[in-house]
Structure formats: C-alpha cells, structure tokens
C-alpha cells in the first residue's frame, strides 16, 4: 500500500488564465520534495497540457469546472489527476495518437504525447458526455540536500 506524505485538491473554472495557476500551484507544492529543475519543468508542462485539454476539448465553448489533485507518495513520487466533466472522449486510443486534435487547425494534437513523454505513467479514462480524467505519475530523483530527505 502506498504511503501518501501530503496532498491537495483544487477546483477552478476552465478559463485559459487558470492554466498558469494550476501549473504554478502544482510546482509550488511539489517543491517540498526538492525536485531537479528538469523534473519540475516536466511536471509543469504535463499539468499545462492536461488542463489545456480540459479547457479546449472538454468544455469547448463553455466554462466548466476542472478538478486537480496532487499527491506526494513515498519515497518521492508525484501523482497528479486532472479531471473535467465535459464532453468526454469517444475514442481514447485515437485521441492519444500524435497530431490528432478536435481543437481546430491552431492545435497541434500533441497534448497526450507530451504528457506521456514527460511523465513515467499516464492513464486516460473518459466517457462521452461525462468527462475525462487524466492520471499522471512521476518518480523524482532522491537528492541529498541539507540533512537529506
């Protein structure tokens, strides 16, 4: 059984300016594990992509609620869940295909690919009309700083 060292939950409107807030909140919270800058940047990028997917694809032209939870699990693992109650995904496998997008020509279709490349584990659950949950996990290097961990 995993031992949760610390955790938090957020809920916020699916407005584009809240993407930076979610990224910063996750980074500030994770900082207590003393991640490397590369690890922190990887996590911030993955959170940005997950939240942006909720805004652009989940709620499309409406404002809904995005839920984000972050858990710090022993020895030094970060688990993040980002969830919406938007339109859902009809075909998750297709949605995870690089370059596929439902967001129009200005979207790259690389969101899931980016999340997957920066995190150790990524899972996506979705139901049409009910929303999508993205779960990500990353193990951090254990550095000795000060008195160690």
Residues contacting residue 144 through CB under 8 Å, at least 6 positions apart: none
The structure's pTM equals: 0.87
Cα of 91 vs its chain's centroid, Å: 19
Give the structural domain span for 113. Answer: 4-139
Q: Could you give the number of structural domains in the chain?
A: 1
85 pLDDT more than 60: yes
109 pLDDT more than 70: no
pLDDT digits (tens, 9 = 90+) for 7-53: 999 999 999 999 999 999 999 999 999 999 999 999 999 999 999 99
Q: Which residues of 67-106 are buried (b: 16+ CB within 10 A; e: fewer)?
A: bbbbbbbeebbbbbbbbbbbbbbeeeeebbeeebbeeeee
Residue-level pLDDT at 149: 42
Torsions phi, psi for 42 (to 5 deg): -60, -45
User: Would 34 be classed as within a structural domain?
Assistant: yes
Residue-level pLDDT at 96: 63
CATH of the domain at 63: 3.30.565.10
Active site residues per annotation: 49, 53, 107
User: Would 83 be classed as within a structural domain?
Assistant: yes
């Amino acid at each position: 059984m995993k031992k949760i060292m610390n955790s938090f939950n957020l809920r916020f409107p699916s407005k584009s300016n809240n993407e930076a807030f979610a990224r910063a909140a996750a980074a500030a919270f994770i900082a207590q594990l003393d991640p490397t800058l590369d690890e922190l940047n990887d996590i911030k990028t993955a959170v940005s992509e997950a939240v942006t997917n909720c805004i652009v694809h989940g709620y499309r032209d409406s404002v809904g609620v995005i839920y984000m939870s972050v858990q710090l699990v022993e020895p030094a693992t970060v688990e993040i869940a980002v969830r919406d109650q938007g339109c859902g995904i009809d075909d998750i496998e297709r949605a995870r295909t690089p370059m596929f997008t439902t967001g129009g020509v200005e979207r790259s279709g690389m969101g899931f690919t980016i999340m997957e490349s920066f995190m150790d584990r990524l899972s996506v659950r979705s139901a049409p009309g009910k929303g999508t949950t993205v779960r990500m996990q990353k193990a951090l290097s254990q550095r000795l700083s000060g008195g160690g961990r």
